[in-house]
Amino acid sequence: MYLITIIFFLFFIIHPFCNIVKAENLYDHNSKHNKNYSILVDLVDNRLYLIDQLNNKIIKNYPIAGGKPTTPSPLGTFTIISKGEWSAGFGTRWMGLNVPWGRYGIHGTNKPLSIGGHVSLGCIRMLNMDVEDLYKLVGYGTPVCIYGGPYNMFVNEFRVLDPGNTGSDVYEVQRRLKDKGYYSGPLDGRYGEGMKAQVIKFRKDNNLKITHTIDKEFYNAMQMKPFE
């Protein structure tokens, strides 16, 4: 009962962000699916929850595996934009998400013992029998909120970032730089050429070592601190 209470608490925290993408199918070819369903992925407990937003009720919950600290799962609110049936050699179902910095989705796995850990390249893994069940219940346009714990981190540390990295942490650095007047590029979660110059400028203005790397020194100057 305590776990269910916590999950509802998490859902109501994230729920306003889910409203950015309406809980309705954006495409006609999946109209049979429940338009009030949304998905909450909790990377702290490694569980996926199917939620009826209309009745604020958890319909199903499944164990999952998320991304490794070096290749983290995307955090935030996304939408299912593709679906496919795959061979059992990799995982039997795929539900792709509209993550701007890469190809991520919810899919099955041929490594069932990986479920429950942080082991993937960023996708959300499910047992094949579970992903097949979920696949039948959700359609295109279903909101997917991926939660990573306090400060959107499922581990108590930041990655060291270099040009070429992508992810939610890159997105957060971009947002912070933009708020401080250093970055005017797109908030796309990609550490590209346009961001490199702004990182250098921020380092110079704050008397930091001149490097393109975003490390602990940089995070501290940005006042970004992991949770205790």
Active site residues: 107, 123
Which 3-state string (H, E, C) describes 110-149?
A: CCHHHCCCEEECCCEEECHHHHHHHHHHCCCCCEEEEECC
Q: How many residues can be counted in the chain? A: 228
Please check whether residue 89 is in contact with residue 70, taking contact to mean a CB–CB distance below 8 angstroms: no
Q: How many CB atoms lie within 10 A of CB 89?
A: 7
> 79, 71, 83, 82: which is closest to 98 by C-alpha?
79
